[in-house]
Amino acid sequence: MTSIPTEQSSGNVFADLGVPDSEEALAKADLAIRISQIITDRGLTQAQAAEILGARQPHVSDLMRGKLKGFTMDRLFRFLNALGQDVEIVVKKKPGTHPAAHTFVVEQQPAT
């Protein structure tokens, strides 16, 4: 059996693939996943979701399939707001142990 070489992930598949603006790409993907989850959890059709989001159905289809070209962070924030979600942006000093600052999405769990 031959061994296949592997490489440790950085935690950002876009950075691993050399995608420009990889942190923004990951954040947009995380936001799109959350939007898609909400749409699916509510049992909405893409047409119903499009009406709520103020978008066209083909754009909802693209979003749900991860085709995010043309979607800005601002637009994704507005979609989340339209779905009844608060979007909170926190700016904080990076830990001294990290060589560079990062942009990422964290989902806050509801209080129980």
Does some domain include residue 103?
no
Does some domain include residue 41?
yes
Does some domain include residue 3?
no
CATH code at position 29: 1.10.260.40
Does some domain include residue 8?
no
C-alpha dihedral over 55, 56, 62, 64, to 10 degrees? 60
The range of the structural domain enclosing residue 68 comes to 19-82
Could you give the angle at which helices 57-64 and 46-53 cross, rounded to 10 degrees?
110
> Within the chain, how many helices (H) and strands (E) appear?
5, 0
Does some domain include residue 110?
no
Q: The whole model's pTM is what?
A: 0.82
A 10 A CB-CB count for 28 gives: 22
Q: What is the pLDDT along the chain (112 residues), one digit of tens a residue?
A: 788 888 888 888 888 888 888 889 999 999 999 999 999 999 999 999 999 999 999 999 999 999 999 999 999 999 999 999 999 988 888 888 888 877 778 877 766 6
Q: Which residues contact 35 (CB under 8 A, 6 or more apart)?
A: 63, 76, 79, 80, 83
Count of structural domains within the chain: 1
Does some domain include residue 76?
yes
Does some domain include residue 92?
no
